[in-house]
Amino acid sequence: MTEPSHSWDTPTAEWATRPGRATVTVPSSGEHLLDVRDLRVEFATRDGVARVVDGVSFHVDPGETLAILGESGSGKSVTAQAVMGILDTPPAAVRGGQVLFAGEDLLAVPAERRRQVRGQEIAMVFQDALSALNPVFPVGWQITEALRARKGVSKAEARRRAVELMSMVQIPAAAQRVDDYPHQFSGGMRQRVMIAMALAMRPKVLIADEPTTALDVTVQAQIMDLLAELRAELDMALILITHDLGVVADVADRITVMYAGRIVEHADVHTLYAAPAHPYTRGLLASIPRLDHRGHGLRSITGSPPSPLAVPHGCPFHPRCPYAQQVCRMTAPPLLRIGRLDRASACHFPPEALDARPI
């Protein structure tokens, strides 16, 4: 690698002041169905305070799929749990930001209102269906538990609705299986039960946290198809939390990439894969083997993701970044808009400058 030129080392001022490249901490105008702004979550641990989510903003609208992509420790699941309001506090604490659902800040409303929204308006599907389901109750009973508790639906009516929901998620012979227990279902069918349960109250936002990670590839395809169908059919907003770049390419409309508790890039799906802006996104895409062609060497990202207790100073990615310069060690780059609306990258250097410096 050649010695960096002076102009390379200090391009920030120029690139930030270019027209149309304002810092985007607050999303664009207009009200979104779910609008998360500058969310901050900390965990108090024995070894100190871990800033697990550090200024995360995103939004979703009905009928849209947003993917939050990140590796373990990136803060993607904690973000989802904070939106859902199911964080264990303590050790976790929401330190700032807003979670606006239809304009109402869920972080500011009384606990009673929060409870109404959770499950009814925003529902969640978890990764491990076997441990998320109660082994000692029939699945039909579990699917409609919320309906009975909240809507006072009668037992007979609840049973009818359970069968209906199970058919909606394409569980064969739903009427016969409504009284079966979780262990009598395969992994894929259990995940369908979880989805049916989440849909019981007809939520407007569905958060799916790694819904297919524990499943085989053929079953994974079925579940992703089902989620996409249901999203369109029920006009839901779907937030997909995942680490899988393949799944994301298949179903997402927009993508938010997280690293060390921060958003490093967001873009629509086509732009992200065709022209990733942030060095981390570029590295991730270069490091995955492809089914459709072999031969090219994998370019791995060196090092490993930082512990949330010791996030590097400056840009959190700089120790692993092949483009890192002095400025990256000193200052954390803000999320800067690139060109069009709703595309941004948290890097000191614009994508064109990175392109000019092959690694």
**Which chain residues interact with other proteins by CB under 8 A?**
71-72, 186, 188-189, 216-218, 220-222, 224-225, 243-250, 269-270, 273-274, 283-285, 287-292, 294-295, 297-302, 304-305
In degrees and rounded to multiples of 5, residue 90 shows phi and psi of: -70, 175
Give 1 or 274: the residue with its C-beta nearer to other proteins. Answer: 274
Respond yes or no on whether the N-terminal peptide bond of residue 90 is cis (omega within 30° of 0). Answer: yes
Q: How far is the CB of 168 from other proteins (least distance, A)?
A: 18
Q: How far is the CB of 205 from other proteins (least distance, A)?
A: 23
338: alpha, beta or left? (left if phi > 0; alpha if psi -120 to 50):
beta
Going from the C-alpha of 229 to that of each of 70, 127, 163, 164, 213, the distances in angstroms are 24, 19, 19, 16, 19
Give 109 or 249: the residue with its C-beta nearer to other proteins. Answer: 249
Q: How far is the CB of 305 from other proteins (least distance, A)?
A: 7
Q: Which of helix, strand or coil describes residue 58?
A: strand
User: Alpha helix locations (H) across the chain?
Assistant: 6-9, 12-17, 76-84, 111-120, 129-132, 139-143, 145-151, 155-168, 174-177, 187-199, 217-234, 245-251, 269-274, 279-287, 326-330, 351-355
**Would the CA dihedral through 121, 127, 132, 135 be positive or negative?**
positive
Q: How far is the CB of 72 from other proteins (least distance, A)?
A: 6
Q: How far apart, in whole angstroms, are the C-alpha atoms of residue 299 and residue 43?
A: 34
Give 288 or 356: the residue with its C-beta nearer to other proteins. Answer: 288
Q: Which of helix, strand or coil describes residue 289?
A: coil
For residues 31 and 200, the answer to whether their CB atoms sit within 8 Å is no
Task: Give every CB contact of residue 332 below 8 A, 6+ residues apart in sequence.
Answer: 314, 315, 316, 346
Give 234 or 269: the residue with its C-beta nearer to other proteins. Answer: 269
Q: How far is the CB of 114 from other proteins (least distance, A)?
A: 33
Q: How far is the CB of 287 from other proteins (least distance, A)?
A: 4
Give 25 or 307: the residue with its C-beta nearer to other proteins. Answer: 307
Q: How far is the CB of 253 from other proteins (least distance, A)?
A: 10
Q: How far is the CB of 137 from other proteins (least distance, A)?
A: 22
Give 47 or 292: the residue with its C-beta nearer to other proteins. Answer: 292
**Token pair of 235 as six digits:** 């006009």
Q: How far is the CB of 236 from other proteins (least distance, A)?
A: 20
Going from the C-alpha of 329 to that of each of 119, 177, 333, the distances in angstroms are 43, 58, 10
Residue type at position 148 = R
Give 196 or 301: the residue with its C-beta nearer to other proteins. Answer: 301
Element (H, E) at 281: helix 279-287
Give 120 or 222: the residue with its C-beta nearer to other proteins. Answer: 222
Q: How far apart, in whole angstroms, are the C-alpha atoms of residue 307 and residue 310?
A: 5
Give 136 or 291: the residue with its C-beta nearer to other proteins. Answer: 291
Residues, the chain: 359
Q: How far apart, in whole angstroms, are the C-alpha atoms of residue 237 and residue 182?
A: 28
Give 203 or 279: the residue with its C-beta nearer to other proteins. Answer: 279
Q: How far is the CB of 5 from other proteins (least distance, A)?
A: 29
